[in-house]
Chain A
Amino acid sequence: MIEIKHIRVEFGKRRILDGIDATVAPGRITAVMGPNGCGKTTLLRCIGGLLEPTAGSVAIDGQLVGSYTARGLAQKVAFVRQQAQTDFEFSAFETVLMGRNPYQHHLQNESQKDWDIVEQCMKQTGTWHLRLAKPGEMSGGEMQRVMIARALAQQTPVLLMDEPVSNLDIAHQLEIMRLLRTTDKTVVIVIHDLNLALQFCDDLMLIHNGKLLFHGPIAQGLTTGNIGTVYGVKSHMAEGRIIFDY
C-alpha cells in the first residue's frame, strides 16, 4: 500500500506538484497520466524516495519512504526510468544482475539463486537471447526491456515505471503490459497511450497543473471531458476505445 499525503514539490519558484493526496491499493496497476511536464515523473520520484518533496510525505506499507535504508527501500520499490542508460560495457546479463544488489552484502558474490532469478526475469521480458549483448549492440527498445528485467530482478512488491513502453513496438508493448497483469505487484506506471492504459490498468491518477484531477477506476476517469480538460483535445468513445477527433 502506497499512501501519498499532501505532496507539494517546488523547484525554485516553479511549483510542480501541488497538494497530491492518494492511496494506491496493493496489487493494482495505476496509470499516472497527464500532459508533458505536468509532474508525473516528479510524483514517481517522490514515491521512489529519489526526491524529497517540499512538503507532504509518502509511506509504503506504513513506513515513511525517507525512513527506509537504501537497501531496505530497494527491496520494496524498483524503478524503471524513462531513459535507459548504461555506460561502459556491461552485458545485458550483468546489467540485470545488478538488480540483485539489494540482497547482497559488500563483498558477497551472486549465488546460483540470483542467476536463476535473472534468467527468469530476462525470459519474461524476452531478453534472454540478448544476455551477452553490450549496450551498443542493442536497440532502444531492447535496452528498455533489459531495464524492465533489472527492475523485476529486484523482486519488489512495488514497481514504479516511467514510460516503460514508449520505446517499444506494439508487440512488445503488449507483452510487457500482459506481464504486469500476471504479477501481483503494485504498479504505478506513467503511460501516454490512453487505450493501452484503458485496456491494462486498474486505476488512474490524472494530473492537471500539478493537481490530482482524478483518482479512481480508470474507466471512470478517462472520459472525453477529462481528456479535453487535461490535453485540450476532442475525442469520443467508440466500442470501448478512445477515438480522437481532428
Chain B
Amino acid sequence: MQKRAHKTGRANPWVILGLTALLAVTMAVSCMFGAVDISMDDIAGRSQIFWQLRLPRVIMGALVGAVLSVCGAAYQSIFRNPLTDPYVLGVSSGASLGAAVAILLGLEAYLWGVGGLALAMALMTVLVIYKIASIGNRMHTTTLLLTGVCLTLLISAVISFLMVLNQEKMDSIIFWTMGSFGSSSWTDVWMLLPVAAVGIGVVLWYSRDLNLLLAGSEAAQSMGCEVEKVKRMLLLFTTLMVAFAVSSCGVIGFVGLIVPHAVRLVAGPDNRKVVPYAILCGAIFVLVCDTLARTVLRPSELPVGSLTSMVGAPLFIYLLYKNKKGF
C-alpha cells in the first residue's frame, strides 16, 4: 500500500519547493531581459527601468499566470468539462467590450481608465450570466456555460461592430484583446495581488471538493460535499480573479485551458496536486512567454497572448503524445 500512498493525496512538498525555486529563478532572469537588458550589477544604474517597469511587469506576469491556471483548473472540475477555460463565463468578452468602449472614449490617458471600465463590464457580464443561470438558490452549470458562450459571441459581434465604425482605433482595441504586460504598473500589482491571494487561497481550500464535484453534484453531495456553497464560493472568487487579471493585461489565451491539463498529464487528476502545481507552473509559463514576447523581436514587442499559444501548443501536444491518454 505504501507505493500507492504517496501517489494519492496532497501535493508533494518537494515538488512545490522545486517549482517555487524555478519560479524565483525565472522571475530573476525575466527581470534581466527586455528592450534594455539589465545585469545584476547594473540595477542601480538602471533603477528607473528596473523598479518602475521591469519588476511590476514580471510580478504581474507571474500573478496573471497563476490566476488563469488556478481558475482553469477550478472551472474544468466545476463544469466537469475539460474544454472550459477561465474566459468561458464571458469575463473576457465583458472586459474586452469595456476596454473597447474606454479606448473609443479616449480614456487611455487616465490611470486605470481602460482597466476600470473593463473590470466593471467584466463583472456586469458575469452577473447577468449568473442571474440567467440560477434557479432559486441553485446554479445550473450547463445553462451557465451555454449562457456564457452565447453572451461571449454576442459581445464579440458588438466589439467588431464598434471597431468597424471606428477604424482609426481598431489597432489599439485589437492589441488590447491580444493581451500584453507592456503597460503593467505597480497600481496593477496592488489591484490584483490581494484578490489573487484570497482567491487562490479559496481554491486551494476547496481543492478536495473539486475532486468530488468531478463525480457529479449528487454524488459529491452524498460524499459530504456542500455542493451549492462550494460552487458559489469558487465561482465568486475565480470570477473576481479573472476579471481583475483580464482588465489589467487583456485577454491572454491558452494558459488557463492548457496548464491544468499539462499538470494533470504529469501529476494525475487529484486537484489537491493539480491546483498548487498549476498555480506555480502557470506563473512560470506566462513569465517565460512574456520574456520571449519582449525579447524575440526587440525593440518591438509581440502580444504575449500569441506567444502563450505558440510556445504552449507544441509543448502540450508533446505531453499528450508522450502520455497517450485521453481525459
Which positions in A face B, CB cutoff 8 Å?
45, 48-50, 69-71, 73-75, 77-79, 81, 85-90, 93-95, 97-99, 101-102, 104, 106-107, 109-110, 112, 115-116, 119, 131, 134, 136, 150, 154
B220-238 CB contact bits vs A (8 Å, 1 = yes)?
A: 0111111100000000000
| Contact of B1 with A by CB under 8 A | yes
| Contact of B298 with A by CB under 8 A | no
Q: In the complex, what distance in Å separates the CA atom of A78 from the CA atom of B222?
A: 6
The answer to whether A88 and B214 have CB atoms under 8 Å apart is yes
A selection of 25 A-B contacts at a CB cut-off of 8 Å is: A45-B218, A50-B221, A50-B222, A69-B226, A71-B224, A78-B222, A79-B218, A86-B215, A87-B214, A87-B327, A88-B269, A94-B8, A94-B268, A94-B269, A98-B215, A99-B223, A101-B224, A101-B225, A106-B209, A107-B205, A110-B9, A115-B5, A119-B1, A136-B326, A150-B223
Q: How many A-B residue pairs have CB under 8 A?
A: 94
What interface size band does chain B fall in?
A: 20 to 34
The answer to whether A102 and B223 have CB atoms under 8 Å apart is yes
B188 to A: closest C-beta gap in Å: 31
| Contact of B46 with A by CB under 8 A | no
B172 to A: closest C-beta gap in Å: 41
| Contact of B169 with A by CB under 8 A | no
The answer to whether A74 and B222 have CB atoms under 8 Å apart is yes
Residue of B nearest to A99 (CB): B223
The 6 closest A-B pairs by CB, nearest first: A74-B224, A102-B224, A79-B222, A88-B269, A71-B224, A109-B9
B278 to A: closest C-beta gap in Å: 14
A104 to B: closest C-beta gap in Å: 7
Contact of A70 among B211, B225, B327 (CB under 8 A): B225
| Contact of B322 with A by CB under 8 A | no
Residue of B nearest to A134 (CB): B325
A residues less than 8 Å from B1 (CB atoms) = 112, 115-116, 119
| B82, B215, B325, most chain A CB atoms within 10 A | B215
B residues less than 8 Å from A74 (CB atoms) = 222-224
| B5, B212, B327, most chain A CB atoms within 10 A | B5
Q: A85-B216, A95-B215, A109-B10 are in contact. List 13 more A-B contacts (CB 8 A).
A: A50-B218, A50-B221, A89-B325, A89-B327, A90-B214, A93-B4, A93-B8, A99-B223, A101-B208, A110-B8, A115-B4, A131-B4, A150-B223
- The A-contacting residues of B in range 1-16, CB under 8 angstroms, are 1, 4-5, 8-10
Residue of A nearest to B269 (CB): A88
B residues less than 8 Å from A115 (CB atoms) = 1, 4-5
B57 to A: closest C-beta gap in Å: 33
A residues less than 8 Å from B221 (CB atoms) = 49-50, 70
Contact of A106 with B206 at beta-carbon distance under 8 Å, contacts A94-B270, A101-B212, A115-B1 already known? yes
Q: In the complex, what distance in Å separates the CA atom of A8 from the CA atom of B236?
A: 35
The answer to whether A107 and B10 have CB atoms under 8 Å apart is yes
A161 to B: closest C-beta gap in Å: 12
Q: In the complex, what distance in Å separates the CA atom of A75 from the CA atom of B223?
A: 8
B residues less than 8 Å from A99 (CB atoms) = 223
Residue of B nearest to A156 (CB): B222
The answer to whether A106 and B224 have CB atoms under 8 Å apart is no
Q: In the complex, what distance in Å separates the CA atom of A119 from the CA atom of B4?
A: 11
B residues less than 8 Å from A97 (CB atoms) = 8
A209 to B: closest C-beta gap in Å: 25
Q: In the complex, what distance in Å separates the CA atom of A97 from the CA atom of B5?
A: 11
A91 to B: closest C-beta gap in Å: 8
A residues less than 8 Å from B208 (CB atoms) = 101, 104, 106-107
B317 to A: closest C-beta gap in Å: 18
Q: In the complex, what distance in Å separates the CA atom of A150 from the CA atom of B208?
A: 16
A residues less than 8 Å from B270 (CB atoms) = 90, 94
B residues less than 8 Å from A77 (CB atoms) = 222
The answer to whether B80 and A48 have CB atoms under 8 Å apart is no
| A75, A87, A101, A106, most chain B CB atoms within 10 A | A87
A163 to B: closest C-beta gap in Å: 15
A237 to B: closest C-beta gap in Å: 37
A residues less than 8 Å from B4 (CB atoms) = 93, 115, 131
Residue of A nearest to B271 (CB): A88
Q: In the complex, what distance in Å separates the CA atom of A108 from the CA atom of B327?
A: 27
The answer to whether B218 and A86 have CB atoms under 8 Å apart is no
Q: In the complex, what distance in Å separates the CA atom of A116 from the CA atom of B4?
A: 12
The answer to whether B223 and A88 have CB atoms under 8 Å apart is no
B46 to A: closest C-beta gap in Å: 43
Q: In the complex, what distance in Å separates the CA atom of A79 from the CA atom of B217?
A: 13
